[in-house]
Amino acid sequence: MTNKKILLADDEPQLALAIKIRLQSRGYQVTTASDGRQALDAMAKERPDLVLLDVLMPVMDGYFCLREINQRYGRGAIPVIILTARDRMKELFELEGIADYVIKPFDHEDLLNRVDQVLKQREAGASSTEPPAST
């Protein structure tokens, strides 16, 4: 599964770098952003196949960024996996059509498997608004 483009928006530089390296080791092309505004700017330049989106970020948080993604591209048009330490917001994000939801701290291999799963479902024509089965 190479040449897939992933946008990673997270304001924790060390975590973002660790995720980026692991994704690149699987053949993904990764663009990073440290806030929601940068993520939207990056998406305007090159549309990703999937977005990994942190919730608590400066300038524009993940919730407002997700709403803007849905408004610009259509709800569920680009699969989004939410990365957050706040598990209480899962239902709210599911209503916004996310592909999956990962609670920090998380196992990096689990995150990579979820990314693979969402992209495989997308390629198979599965609805991007249906969350994949949790592992």
Give the confidence band of 126 by pLDDT, cuts at 50, 70, 90: low
pLDDT above 70 as % of the chain: 91
pLDDT(54) > 60: yes
The runs of H, that is alpha helices, within 74-107 are 90-95
**Distance separating alpha carbons of residues 90 and 82, to the nearest angstrom:** 9
Which helix (H) or strand (E) covers residue 119, if one does?
helix 108-123
* Secondary structure class of 108 (helix, strand, coil): helix
To which CATH superfamily is domain 5-123 assigned? Answer: Response regulator (3.40.50.2300)
Higher pLDDT residue, 82 or 130? 82
pLDDT digits (tens, 9 = 90+) for 15-27: 999 999 999 999 9
Closest by alpha carbon to 49, among 1, 111, 101? 1
* Secondary structure class of 41 (helix, strand, coil): helix
- Mean pLDDT within 49-54: 97
Q: Please, what is the average pLDDT of the chain?
A: 89
Give the confidence band of 128 by pLDDT, cuts at 50, 70, 90: very low
pLDDT digits (tens, 9 = 90+) for 66-99: 999 999 999 989 999 999 887 777 777 878 889 9
